[in-house]
Chain A
Amino acid sequence: MNRTEREAAYVDYVTARRAHLRRVAYALCGDWHRADDLLQTALVKLYVAWPRVRRAGSEDAYVRKILVRAAIDESRRPWRREQATDDLPDRPAPEPTGVEERSALFAALQALPVQQRAAVVLRHWLGLSVTETADELGLAEGTVKSHTSRGLATLRLSLEPSEAG
């Protein structure tokens, strides 16, 4: 495979997966602009490592790992944590569920500690196994189970009022 073919394969992959990967980044950080920054960081690293990553067939996993690490790292910077703003945030287009319910669940997801959030996103949104989630987060499987259990409990609490209604 020459350079042109390699780059074409990279572009094909990114074009096909970018929308999904943007959503993963957004789920992890809760802000579309930051999500795009995270994704760009990940995609540049993917470009450099493309031949090896593609050979291993682990493109999505590689990008997710970078996204998760970058999101966790960013969340640990106190000056980058969420601040009040007068600007309205970007909103996704039409929600298939009620706005309040969606907002409550998303807000609850973002309120989780970042590793819990990442564990829930990987395990229960993307459907990764405990082993895969542990590998991508760099955690023990038991820790993943603990994170997801606590995270899900918190999320379910956030849904209770609307369910009761």
Chain B
Amino acid sequence: MPNIADQLDAAIGAAPSDGPALAPTLELGRRAVRRRRLAYGAGVVATALVIGGTAWAASPGDTERQRSQEPGFAGGPTASPSASPSDPADEGVDSTERDREEPWFGADAARRGPDGRLEIRDGWTATRVIEEVNGPGTVGVEVAKGSRLQWFLFGHRMTIATLRAPSEGYSDFQEWIDVNGPNIKSSRPDKKRDGTGEGSDAAGDWPGVPRDDLVVFAPKAMSSARGLVAVSDDVVVVDQVYDPDLGASFAPPGESGVAKVRKDGQVWYVVARRPDDYIAVSASKASEQYDVEDLADFIAFAQERYAEGGGGLL
């Protein structure tokens, strides 16, 4: 008798043909990557203005013409700091205030100021800026001074930096961003994502667990019963949204719900779809790993995860 592996192999059989062409998959992949980048586009110009404006404030001897020729301003007239709302002059930053700027320590040539704006060290230039590397508020920046390069990824609370770039086997900034971008945390889940898979591609990154001891759908037979109800007396439904529109890939209209619940001192977010699928994510884990701070954040997070396919939360 053949072993089970051989029997399974025979049972599964051979694929019926060569399968779909690879080209559409490649194009979808390229699109997914492109959407994660916003290099030299209109959106980047806005960020470049902020960076350039800050650099300009730190280099008062530069002329506007010189500034507009810096790589970070490569977009031409629209990149001129003179007419931008981001221009430091428009914000009333006078020289006295500039003098009170935090001194630079260490070798980092880029940082985020207390107000969250990017600041470039005097003498350095931002040569590449990629916005929303992994959600809102995340940005990748390459800065240069002569032949020296530094790469930065700024997120909500963390910064990833390579001060002697290229290094560690990365050939260019884009590759470094591709590899490290998924590790940077944004300030909150991106509610504007269109579900193409970018930004959440870490292997093994599924935070949910099946839980049937927290909430259940109220029986449809009950009058006006539409939401989720606690399974037992020790569960408190803190908040819930019925039919949160987590996308057609998750559930059809009227067949899903989300809730924030408390049990045994622990708080959970639960996504549910009829008839009996309940997936819970620890609120502390959601906060620490995904910057989910409330039910609205969680709904946005779940929408993103289920739109992108590949298992959603579980």
**B-contacting residues of A (Cβ < 8 Å)?**
1-3, 6-7, 10-11, 14-15, 18-19, 22-23, 26-27, 32, 36, 39-53, 55, 58, 61-62, 65-66, 68-70, 72-73, 76-79, 90-97, 101-103, 105-106, 109, 120-121, 124-125, 127, 135, 138, 152, 155, 159, 163
Instruction: Tell whether, in the assembled complex, residue A45 and residue B197 are in contact, meaning their CB atoms are under 8 Å apart.
Output: yes
Residues of B within 8 A of A32 (CB): 15-16
Q: Which of chain B's residues has its CB closest to A7's CB?
A: B26
Report the minimal beta-carbon distance from B21 to chain A, rounded to whole angstroms: 11
- Whether A73 contacts B11 in the complex (CB less than 8 A), given A40-B28, A51-B175, comes out as no
**A-contacting residues of B (Cβ < 8 Å)?**
1-2, 4-5, 7-16, 18-20, 22, 24-26, 28-30, 32-33, 36, 169, 171-172, 174-175, 178-179, 182, 196-198, 201-204, 206, 250-252, 273-275, 277, 306, 308-312, 314
Residues of A within 8 A of B204 (CB): 65, 135, 138
B14, B15, B275, most chain A CB atoms within 10 A: B15
Instruction: Tell whether, in the assembled complex, residue B28 and residue A91 are in contact, meaning their CB atoms are under 8 Å apart.
Output: no
Instruction: Tell whether, in the assembled complex, residue B273 and residue A105 are in contact, meaning their CB atoms are under 8 Å apart.
Output: no
Instruction: Tell whether, in the assembled complex, residue B15 and residue A23 are in contact, meaning their CB atoms are under 8 Å apart.
Output: yes
CA gap between A70 and B310 in the complex, in Å: 4
Residues of B within 8 A of A40 (CB): 20, 24-25, 28
Q: Which of chain B's residues has its CB closest to A127's CB?
A: B5
8 Å CB contact of B16 from A3, A39, A41, A91:
A91
Instruction: Tell whether, in the assembled complex, residue A152 and residue B11 are in contact, meaning their CB atoms are under 8 Å apart.
Output: no
Report the minimal beta-carbon distance from A42 to chain B, rounded to whole angstroms: 7
Instruction: Tell whether, in the assembled complex, residue A19 and residue B15 are in contact, meaning their CB atoms are under 8 Å apart.
Output: yes
Residues of A within 8 A of B24 (CB): 40
* Known pairs A44-B25, A45-B310, A102-B10 / 5 extra A-B pairs, C-beta < 8 Å: A23-B15, A51-B178, A52-B182, A78-B274, A93-B14
Instruction: Tell whether, in the assembled complex, residue B273 and residue A53 are in contact, meaning their CB atoms are under 8 Å apart.
Output: no
Instruction: Tell whether, in the assembled complex, residue A48 and residue B309 are in contact, meaning their CB atoms are under 8 Å apart.
Output: no
A101, A102, A103, most chain B CB atoms within 10 A: A102
Q: Which of chain B's residues has its CB closest to A30's CB?
A: B12
Residues of B within 8 A of A135 (CB): 204
Instruction: Tell whether, in the assembled complex, residue B11 and residue A106 are in contact, meaning their CB atoms are under 8 Å apart.
Output: yes
CA gap between A163 and B1 in the complex, in Å: 9
In the A-B complex, the 8 residue pairs with the smallest Cβ-Cβ separation, listed nearest first, are A69-B311, A47-B29, A92-B13, A105-B11, A41-B309, A49-B201, A106-B11, A125-B8
CA gap between A144 and B5 in the complex, in Å: 17
Q: Which of chain B's residues has its CB closest to A46's CB?
A: B29
8 Å CB contact of B179 from A14, A52, A106, A159:
A52
Residue pairs across A and B with Cβ atoms less than 8 A apart, 27 shown, are A2-B172, A6-B175, A15-B22, A22-B15, A26-B12, A32-B15, A36-B20, A44-B29, A45-B32, A47-B30, A48-B29, A48-B36, A48-B198, A52-B178, A73-B306, A77-B250, A77-B251, A92-B12, A92-B15, A92-B16, A93-B16, A95-B10, A95-B13, A96-B10, A109-B11, A124-B4, A124-B8
